[in-house]
Amino acid sequence: MKQYLKEHPWHIIEDSFDSENNRNSESIFSIGNGRFGQRANFEEDYSGDSLQGSYVAGVYYPDKTKVGWWKNGYPEYFAKVLNAPNWIGIRVKLDGELLDLAKAEILSFRRTLDMEEGILYREFTAKLSGGRELAVKSTRFCSISDDELGAIRYELTPLNFGGPINITPYIDADVENEDSNYEEKFWVEVDKDMDMRRGYVTAETKKTQFQVCTAMDFDILQAGKAVDFNPYREQKDKYIGASVDLTADEGAPIIVHKYAAIISSLNYDKKDLVAAANKALDRAKQAGFESMAAAQAHAWKDKWDEADILIEGDVAAQQGIRFNIFQLYQTYTGEDERLNIGPKGFTGEKYGGSTYWDTEAYCLPFYLATADSRVGRNLLIYRYKHLEKAIENAEKLGFKNGAALYPMVTMNGEECHNEWEITFEEIHRNGAIAYAIFDYIRYTGDKEYLIDYGLEVLIGIARFWVQRVHFSERRGMYVMHGVTGPNEYENNVNNNWYTNYIARWCIQYALEAREWVKEQAPEKYEALSDRIKFYEYTETPEWQKVVDNMYLPEDEKLNIFVQHDGFLDKDIRPVSTLEASDRPLNQNWSWDRILRSCFIKQADTLQGLYFFEDQFDLDTIRRNFEFYEPMTVHESSLSPCVHAIQAARLGMEDKAYEMYVRTARLDLDDYNNDTEDGCHITSMAGTWMALVKGFGGFRIEADKLTFRPFIPGSWDKYTFKIVYRGSKLRVEVDQQKARIHNDSSNAVEIVLYDETHTIPAAGRVETDLQHAG
């Protein structure tokens, strides 16, 4: 763990500079607007260790797969979100000496991410040669009110000297990805120009041929007045800059306002990119920096009004939940159904910026409860539009008849993960796609989605599961061999309980959905059946046989579900027996040793008990939790939230709080020693779930909002908001009372501690707090 950041309810604060923490800070202080994002790299040059990162949503490169032994069915490439042209650059030279914090003496340093207004601040004082001291203040943001624009205010003040200073704002598309398989650069220049204060570089990605026009305009103020300057134009391959020579006066600030437009061919014809960039810059120049910053603050206020969670009495917990919500909203806005949520968002390259099952399992519940229902619907439409690719993915592995296997990792629907135990075996991901349809309909009531989109997806997934199992004569049941469950510290196992269970559930749900659609929309049902060659009288009996006869491993002596065949033959021992030097296991143990151990990376059997909680009694959930959680190392960012929710439901309040803190501050405190690669964006939705579903006890049961809240002993009060089918509720919990406010214009029926209440418009219900469990 690294605990160097200051606690504050609305700000992330770093009040000194340590180069050892720089990559972590670049991740944590990242900013974005759903359309593009930027790691917290410095505007000025920095020759120290850094991961340069600017990212444009939907722009990727198919990096050729690099493996030692090629296996049939391997994806041909690993999709990678590309480090895009650098738009923040401002080079500074004092009488020819380059400002570089890796070489200067840093007298003071402070970096602040204002999450309330979505603005990143940095200020420092550096001593250069000859004892010259320069104070710098930087302010920047990616506009969410105009998502084609970024803006920077960069202020330089010579504290004890005057003299020549050179300032060069620039755009640099000659960038690289640190994770490139073959050390390639992925951008080629299409066009560029620099004319006085305005310039642009249009670059195109190799292979995928996305084009991005990155343009800039700037002005300079000195002594509070605009400077009339004639810059020296700098141009080289994939680079433009405007070099300005000034004379600095001691104690007098020089202010640079730099505006950047990031325009992608995802949204414009390629021939129109430059014109669109110029229009965006015109908007920025007309508004000015201060007006743009005010619009940014106002737009973020609207988001916080929808989704803020207030925690009183625990600043670290408050900071953690707001950081998670902030990163989610600046990664994905739901405006564009072509986009999705990468595990690192706009904060790093790892995982390729691609879509994983994390979206359906963890992110969807957050957006359903905090945003308009179309946002959640767009996440489902994204997968529907990839159905044909999912069928192709299954065909590559030998499946037939329209069976669909959704990819573990994707940008465009094609599988692009190149580790065999994931690509071929971690097929439980298919279940998350189906569960998301169920979850969306349960929450929104939009059952019509099944008619136009959902049923077709469910049939493809059911066809896959029916072909993936086989009948065991010895057991007299259907079994599934050679899989990897959510616990990736086990590979190539037989009869993973979670995978078998969710496969059976998917088939059953597809059968139920088919019946409903056939009854409600017979003509559309017949048209769909004809188009996908679905023959219900031959297929559905086979499906039902699998549902009725699926093998689910159990141990009668321990009275638990068994994670997979042979798991109980391992050396069963708790995580508490490990040495601190062993953790995290994936950075200290050989893979062979990990695979042979009993230690669990993340919820596996417990993932199924979380998804299908209503199908099991509390004693069953408790027995399995008490068996598996002590062996769980939580070295996946997706792990703590599930355990927090289940611990809360079981009345294990201390464990629930422990898991909540771990998920809320996973990146801020670098629990898994990997924040330098980027923040764990998709698991941040799990932090919201840990509080709302865990401490708030929030569920949808029988089409009713249900709450069983409790509060951690160290907190004074917490408040969260949800939207549900057009209604808005506000839940307040303190050490004595639980209150649910109806902030809607219509009455809402809810269940609080198993008692049904109808709350009138603008009314509330209040009751004494009860303990969980």
Give the residue numbers annotated as catalytic, written as ranges: 488
Residue 688 exposed, middle or buried by CB count within 10 Å (0-12, 13-18, 19+): buried
Smallest CA-to-CA distance from 613 within 621, 625, 623, 624 is with: 621
Please state, in angstroms and rounded to a whole number, the distance separating the CA atoms of residues 68 and 743.
59
Tokens, residue 28: 């944590």
Side-chain half-sphere exposure of 441, counting CA atoms within 13 A: 16
Give Cβ neighbours of residue 279 (< 8 Å, ≥ 6 apart).
none
Strands, DSSP E only, in 657-763? 699-701, 704-707, 717-724, 727-734, 737-742, 748-752, 755-759
Closest-CA residue to 765 (of 734, 735, 730, 736): 730
Instruction: Transcribe 245-301 into DSSP letters.
Output: EEEE-TT--EEEEEEEEEEETTTS-GGGHHHHHHHHHHHHHHH-HHHHHHHHHHHHH
Alpha carbon distances (Å) from 279 to 218, 261, 365, 390: 15, 9, 37, 39
How far apart are the C-alpha atoms of 434 and 459, rounded to whole Å? 10
Kindly list the distances between the CA atom of residue 534 and the CA atoms of 394, 455, 460, 513, 527, in Å, as whole numbers in the listed order. 17, 11, 10, 14, 10
- The one-character DSSP state at 99 is P
Q: Which of 464, 468, 461, 548 is CA-nearest to residue 513?
A: 461
Q: Measured between alpha carbons, how far is residue 364 from residues 328, 351, 568, 598, 684 in Å?
A: 11, 19, 34, 31, 12
Which residues on adjacent β-strands are paired with residue 77?
64
CA distances from 164 to 90, 138, 256 (A): 16, 21, 16
User: Residues 6 or more apart from 273 whose CB is under 8 A from it?
Assistant: 202, 211, 212, 213, 263, 264, 265
| Secondary structure in 3-state letters for 177-219 | CCCCCCCCCCEEEEEEEEECCEEEEEEEECCCCCEEEEEEEEE
Nearest CA to 662 among 307, 309, 317? 317
Residue 126 tokens read as: 């550096």
Helix-helix angle 639-649:681-689, to 10 degrees: 10
Q: 512-531 in b/e burial notation, b at 16+ Cβ within 10 A?
A: ebbeebbeebeeebeebbee
| Residue type for position 555 | D
Q: Under a CB-based contact definition with an 8 Å cutoff, are residues 465 and 445 in contact?
A: no
Specify the DSSP class assigned to residue 397: T
Residue 204: strand pairing partners: 188, 211
Distance CA 425, CA 597 (A): 19
CA dist list (Å): 401 to 228, 451, 549, 587: 70, 21, 22, 42
- How far is residue 25 from each of residues 11, 138, 247, 342, 466, measured CA to CA in Å? 14, 16, 33, 19, 47
- Residue 291 backbone dihedrals phi, psi, to 5 degrees: -65, -40
CA-based nearest residue to 741, from 754, 726, 731: 731
